[in-house]
Amino acid sequence: MAPSVAPILLGEDYQHLYFWVQAARLFMENDPAEVVYVEHPIIQAFDDVVAVNRVPLYSHDNRLIEVDHYQLKYHVDGRDTIKALDLSTPSFIGATEYSLLDKAYAATKGGDIPKRMTLVTAWRFDPTDILRSLISNNDGEIVTKKVFEGGSRSAVGKVREAWRKRLGGVSDDELERVLRHLRIHDNVQLRRLKQEAALYLRLAGFAPPSEGSLVDPYVAMVRKFIVGGPREHRADSLRPFLEKEDLWRGRPLRSESDPRAIAIKSFSRGAVNLEDLAATLDLVPDFHGRYKAAEVDWDRDLAPRIRAFLDERVSGNHSYDLYLDTHLSIAYLAGYLLGKNDTVAPVQSDGRVVWRRTGLEVPGELWAVREEHVGDGPGLAIAIEVTRPTADDVRIYTGNEKPGIGRMLVLTVAGGTGPTSVRDGDHAWALARELGAIVEARRTTDERAAPIHVFGSVPVALAYLIGREGRAFGRSITYEFDFDHRTPGGYTPAFHLPLTLRGRTEP
């Protein structure tokens, strides 16, 4: 296939898969979606997928939203970040004359409209650009208050003036009106979109696409809709197409013995809304991307809410699937709080796979272990290397910050690090159990009197399972890495365990 053709086809797949994420909502119980369109050009440049709500929804600024318009941008090229000025650059959306802001301005010229316009893209926000700080971590909306805070020579002021100029010198009020209708959902990767579309399809009662087939029947069906129609779809009109192609299974009946779904999120990632799948603790407003808000404290503010949520939702009478779209420290804390509760199984976010133990033996070596002297303190650091190496960054952090660490125990998953280094749930449970045993055996008497420092690069579900072992560590501190900037040694402390809440120490 010619290189110039492949990006076009991948971009089409990206749009078609997103259509099915929205179309599956038509079959979800209590979901407000009523009609979903593909390529419905009421608002130019936001016409790839359009979802009409049966009951208007409240937006972030309490406007009633009747329709959501989505523009899908896959982009296959050498750049993988979004900057503020891209919104006012026509070429960013593959146009020659009008930019994304131009299109939003044209749609809102007569005043507020009961609609949202959302850019969905595989790109991430550029960590060095001002746009990243202007996008809310709640639902990708633009925080308009921040746009008008700085003077004309500040970083945000220069962007504001460029946006105003692009729109013909509009007033601040007019620019604010345009921006409050916009959302940006970044880092929605094609691979993850495929996984999450498959999950939505299954939950809606559709046959999941087969990974063993060269042709995705769902993608092919949308191509037919675009060429020959129909482009407007309701549940009762879409179902006959699914039945004819043998893609309709009906929503699975749940029994009382089925695992209950619960979730914690501190990221808004991907296309799936966790609230559609599970009872969800939403910590997203407490963060700006990966970074917690300045006024938020891990121990004082986040830990009590996580503990209260788990206390309320988890009982010994049921089994649970725990979805975790979270920082690793939050997943670790959830495991720590639930301890040896075997009724809860974590759901690995990559692929939405439940890592429930089956009891199968996991043969062979699990960890390669080495020790290093990294400082003069009494504490022990454990550098857990599963998805990527961490020891170099821990060594740099220890040298720069001097957090009282003397020795580092490096545990590298047998076979080498990588995104697929954990094979399945049984492998993950075995890794966590063996890690706890290794730390217990190698920690000296002096180190037991000091906190243990937990640094990890692991799948989020494995972080939960390691947290289950954490109570045996005694005092411990978890750390978060700055993945946006990837600063060498870029760790910051998160939770200090055991938790001290309301004047008492957590058991």
Instruction: DSSP for 3-22, please give it.
Output: TTTHHHHHHHHHHHHHHHHH
In degrees, to the nearest 5, what angle opens at C-alpha 341 toward C-alphas 336 and 343? Answer: 130
Q: Give 506's pLDDT tier (boundaries 50, 70, 90).
A: low
Q: Is the pLDDT of residue 165 over 80?
A: yes
- CA distance from start to end of the chain: 61
User: What's the per-residue H, E or C state across 459-489?
Assistant: CHHHHHHHHHHHHHHCCEEEEEECCCCCCCC
Q: Give 269's pLDDT tier (boundaries 50, 70, 90).
A: low
Q: Is the pLDDT of residue 502 over 50?
A: no
Q: Give 179's pLDDT tier (boundaries 50, 70, 90).
A: very high
Task: Please state, in angstroms and rounded to a whole number, the distance separating the CA atoms of residues 432 and 415.
Answer: 16
* Between 376 and 408, the higher pLDDT residue: 408
Instruction: Give per-residue pLDDT as tens, 321-379.
Output: 999 999 999 999 999 999 988 899 999 987 788 999 998 889 899 999 999 999 989 99
- Give whole-number Cα distances, 392 to 374, 396, 403, 494, in Å: 11, 6, 16, 20
| Ramachandran angles phi, psi of 30, nearest 5° | 70, 10
- 51 with 70: CB under 8 angstroms? yes
Q: Give 30's pLDDT tier (boundaries 50, 70, 90).
A: confident
pTM: 0.77
The residue-averaged pLDDT of 402-406 equals 93
Instruction: Give per-residue pLDDT as tens, 316-331.
Output: 778 999 999 999 999 9
- Which is it for the CA torsion 368, 373, 375, 379, positive or negative? positive
* Between 243 and 499, the higher pLDDT residue: 243
């199984």: which residue's tokens?
A: 345
Burial (0-12, 13-18, 19+ Cβ within 10 Å), 90 = middle
Task: Please state, in angstroms and rounded to a whole number, the distance separating the CA atoms of residues 26 and 36.
Answer: 8
pLDDT at res. 1: 46
Which positions ≥6 away from 165 have C-beta within 8 Å?
A: none
pLDDT at res. 181: 95
pLDDT at res. 254: 67
pLDDT at res. 4: 60
pLDDT at res. 264: 96
- Tokens, residue 6: 């492949």
Q: For the chain, give the percent of residues with pLDDT over 70.
A: 94
Q: Tell me the Cα Rg of the chain.
A: 24
- Tokens, residue 194: 């495929």
Q: Give 503's pLDDT tier (boundaries 50, 70, 90).
A: very low
Q: Is the pLDDT of residue 507 over 60?
A: no
Q: For the chain, give the percent of residues with pLDDT over 90.
A: 66
Q: Is the pLDDT of residue 232 over 80?
A: yes
pLDDT at res. 359: 85
Q: How many residues does the chain have?
A: 507
Q: Give 127's pLDDT tier (boundaries 50, 70, 90).
A: confident
pLDDT at res. 316: 76
Instruction: Give per-residue pLDDT as tens, 409-455.
Output: 999 999 999 988 999 999 999 999 999 999 999 999 999 999 999 99
* Between 318 and 464, the higher pLDDT residue: 464
User: Average model confidence (pLDDT) for the chain?
Assistant: 90
* Between 79 and 277, the higher pLDDT residue: 277
Residue 84's CB is within 10 A of a number of other CB atoms, namely 23
| Ramachandran angles phi, psi of 251, nearest 5° | -65, 130
Judged by average pLDDT, the poorest of 47-61, 252-266, 390-404 is 252-266
Chain mean position to CA 390: 22
* Between 478 and 290, the higher pLDDT residue: 478
- Give whole-number Cα distances, 161 to 19, 84, 148, 340, 505, in Å: 35, 12, 10, 56, 52
Print burial letters for 152-190: b (CB count within 10 Å at least 16), e (below 16).
eeeebbbbbebbbebbeebeeebbebbbbbbbbbbbbbe
* Between 351 and 394, the higher pLDDT residue: 394
